[in-house]
Amino acid sequence: MENSIIYKVGKSGKILIGRVLPGHDFIQGIEDAFRESGLKSGNLVSCVGSLRQASFIYIKPKPGGLMGAGYDAPTILEGPLELLTIQGPIILDEGGEIFYHFHGTVMDRDARVWGGHFFREGTVMPDGQKLPGGNPVLATVDFTIIGHEGARIVRRLDPQLGMKALTPETE
CATH number at 43 reads 3.30.1330.80
In this structure, is residue 155 part of a structural domain?
no
In this structure, is residue 154 part of a structural domain?
no
Phi-psi category of 150—alpha, beta or left, where left has phi over 0 and alpha has psi -120 to 50?
A: left
In this structure, is residue 33 part of a structural domain?
yes
Find the domain containing 119 and state its range: 13-148
Mean of the per-residue pLDDT values of the chain:
92
Q: Is the pLDDT of residue 26 over 80?
A: yes
| pLDDT score, position 160 | 82
In this structure, is residue 158 part of a structural domain?
no
**HSE toward the beta carbon, residue 52, CA cutoff 13 A:** 14
Q: Is the pLDDT of residue 68 over 90?
A: no
89-139 confidence digits (pLDDT tens) = 999 988 889 999 999 999 999 999 999 999 988 888 767 778 888 999 999
Name residues whose C-beta falls within 8 Å of residue 46's C-beta, 6 or more positions apart in sequence.
85, 87, 142, 143, 144
| pLDDT score, position 1 | 46
Q: Is the pLDDT of residue 51 over 90?
A: yes
In this structure, is residue 50 part of a structural domain?
yes
Q: Does residue 111 contact residue 83 with C-beta atoms inside 8 Å? A: no
How many domains is the chain built from? Answer: 1
The 3-state DSSP class for residue 1 equals coil
